[in-house]
Homo-oligomer: A and B are copies of this chain.
């Protein structure tokens, strides 16, 4: 009747991860085990293990005997995420030093073009996805799988942070700022690339409202089905 391939817990982890990272599952969303079983068509232990992984990543907050919820970062955590990203992404550019081929550059430029297209189309979900993906692409082109792993975590946490502290999501990570990083790389000026990256991340942090209400938004009721079923 449907997909018999019997999703592995890794795949479930990925799916939920992606839904959180692309903001289809907002902070505070309850992740009821039974409901997830229905959605993915697997038994509870499988779901449980996937949730454990997410909880270990800090994307999901697991309260004993209460259940799992999409994490709602605090102001301090928000600042920390951005600080850490600056540290890590400077490292990414260092790791790129010996890997800036023409292919690399055209891949990056192609990506930025996609970002511009999504922005023109007004496709918010796609825009969010691509903004994060740019940073990931940079990391994956670099010579450090470990840094890329670390950054994947950080980017997904950033998404949560912006979901909480940036009510109007139009002030996203802009393609132009990404372009200026790539331009610097194209010139071989890595110091400039690092500065551009730093400025870009600081800019993103400053668009957030990190003084006001820590939390207070109501928990949505049942977005799970819609959020998790799509395989964008």
- Residues on A lying within 8 angstroms of B by beta carbon are 45, 49, 52-53, 56, 77, 80-81, 83-84, 86-88, 90-91, 94-95, 143-147, 150, 154
Contacts and interface: CB of A to CB of B under 8 A. Distances in A.
A76 to B, nearest CB: 8
Contacts of A49: 49, 52
B80 A145 contact: yes
Copies of this subunit:
2
Contact of A53 (B52, B87, B150): B52
A147 B84 CA distance: 6
Closest 6 interchain pairs by CB? Answer: A87-B91, A84-B146, A80-B146, A80-B144, A53-B56, A84-B147
Given A56-B56, A83-B144, 15 more contacts: A49-B49, A49-B52, A53-B53, A77-B145, A80-B143, A83-B147, A84-B91, A84-B146, A84-B147, A84-B150, A86-B91, A87-B90, A87-B94, A91-B91, A146-B154
12 contacts: A49-B52, A52-B52, A52-B53, A53-B56, A83-B95, A83-B146, A84-B144, A84-B150, A86-B91, A87-B88, A88-B91, A150-B150
Nearest to A76: B145
Given A45-B45, A49-B49, A147 B87 contact: yes
Contacts of A95: 83, 87
Contacts of A145: 77, 80
Nearest to A50: B52
Nearest to A145: B80
A53 B9 CA distance: 13
Contacts of A53: 52-53, 56
A83 B88 CA distance: 11
Contacts of A88: 87-88, 91
Contacts of A86: 91
Contacts of A90: 87, 91
A216 to B, nearest CB: 24
Nearest to A55: B53
